[in-house]
């Protein structure tokens, strides 16, 4: 598909059920929802964000542009109002999209996000320690292995297949812009958001889960599910529990967004 500013994005629809628009992690990575199974009731709308994976390696890499791209993907698939599921950085992108276009988001599934502030990063660094050197697949697999409690290397290999170059330019630009966003302003905006939200935490995630507390407190309509002994990618370590939590949440609200 082609965006309004002429950038080619890769996108795919997997399954035949009710659509869910998925925002992958990163920034600078690609869609890894090929391992996500929500059952036959749901169809996953997947895409690689600009600059990464199978999409064209061209900016600009700004939060405003990324939010606009989410809307372009939604429109290209012919969807009106749709649930949005985001993971890690993609959870924050999904939240920003819901804040910008609440009339187009029927529900938000916020998976393993890092909240509205920035204090979490120091604790994360202490937990993970020194990161592997290098920018290739092998280094990424070693780094991602720490995101899991069980079978870390196997799960990390699955995330790295297929493999594409990481866009470090996009990562740096978007990370810097996120750090510049005042938490108080985001809290204020979230208090006015009427979109029902599900927050999903793996409590063994190296990114501290207390960082999401201010988001939970700010959202007017929110459910929070915590999985003990699960790391950063809960649909890989607890697939049945994750599926039940997400499909149950969306099923409860089905009449609102059909």
Alpha carbon 19 to its chain centroid, in Å, reads 16
Q: What is the pLDDT of residue 129?
A: 79
Q: What is the pLDDT of residue 258?
A: 39
- CA dist 191 and 3 (Å) reads 31
Q: Which of 115, 108, 66 is nearest to 84 (CA)?
A: 108
Instruction: Say yes or no: domain 11-257 is CATH 3.40.50.12500.
Output: no
Q: What is the pLDDT of residue 255?
A: 42
Q: What is the pLDDT of residue 155?
A: 96
Range from 78-82, 88-92, 120-124, 126-130 carrying the lowest mean pLDDT: 126-130
41-84: pLDDT as tens digits? 999 999 999 999 999 999 999 999 999 999 999 999 999 999 99
Q: What is the pLDDT of residue 252?
A: 65
Helix axes of 183-191 and 89-100: crossing angle, nearest 10 degrees: 50
132 vs 241, more confident: 241
- CA dist 222 and 135 (Å) reads 38
In a 3-state reduction of DSSP, which class is residue 116?
coil
Banded pLDDT at 253 (limits 50, 70, 90): low
Alpha helices in the chain (DSSP H): 63-76, 89-100, 120-128, 137-145, 152-159, 168-179, 183-191, 213-218, 234-237, 239-252, 254-257
Average of per-residue pLDDT across 206-211:
96
Instruction: Give the H or E element holding residue 107.
Output: strand 105-111
- CA dist 137 and 128 (Å) reads 18
Average of per-residue pLDDT across 194-204:
97
pLDDT at 257 over 50: no
């Amino acid at each position: 598909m082609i965006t309004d500013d002429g950038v080619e994005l890769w996108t795919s629809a997997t399954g035949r059920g009710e659509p869910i628009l998925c925002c992958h992690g990163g920034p600078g990575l690609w869609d890894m929802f090929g391992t996500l199974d929500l059952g036959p009731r749901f169809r996953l709308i997947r895409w690689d964000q600009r600059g990464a994976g199978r999409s064209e390696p061209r900016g600009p890499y700004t939060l405003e542009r990324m939010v606009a791209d989410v809307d372009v993907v939604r429109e290209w698939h012919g969807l009106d109002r749709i649930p949005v599921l985001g993971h890690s950085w993609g959870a924050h992108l999904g939240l920003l999209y819901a804040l910008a276009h609440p009339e187009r988001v029927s529900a938000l599934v916020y998976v393993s996000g890092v909240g509205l502030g920035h204090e979490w990063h120091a604790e994360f660094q202490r937990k993970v320690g020194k990161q592997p050197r290098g920018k290739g697949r092998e280094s990424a697999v070693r780094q991602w292995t720490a995101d899991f409690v069980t079978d870390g290397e196997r799960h990390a290999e699955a995330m790295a297949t297929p493999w594409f170059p990481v866009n470090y330019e996009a990562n740096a630009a978007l990370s810097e812009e996120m750090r510049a966003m005042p938490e108080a302003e985001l809290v204020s905006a979230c208090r006015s958001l009427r979109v029902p939200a599900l927050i999903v935490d793996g409590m063994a995630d190296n990114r501290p889960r207390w960082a999401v507390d201010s988001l939970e407190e700010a959202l007017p309509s929110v459910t929070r599910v915590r999985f003990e002994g699960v790391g950063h990618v809960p649909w890989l370590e607890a697939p049945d529990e994750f599926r039940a939590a997400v499909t149950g949440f969306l099923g409860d609200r089905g009449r609102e967004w059909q």
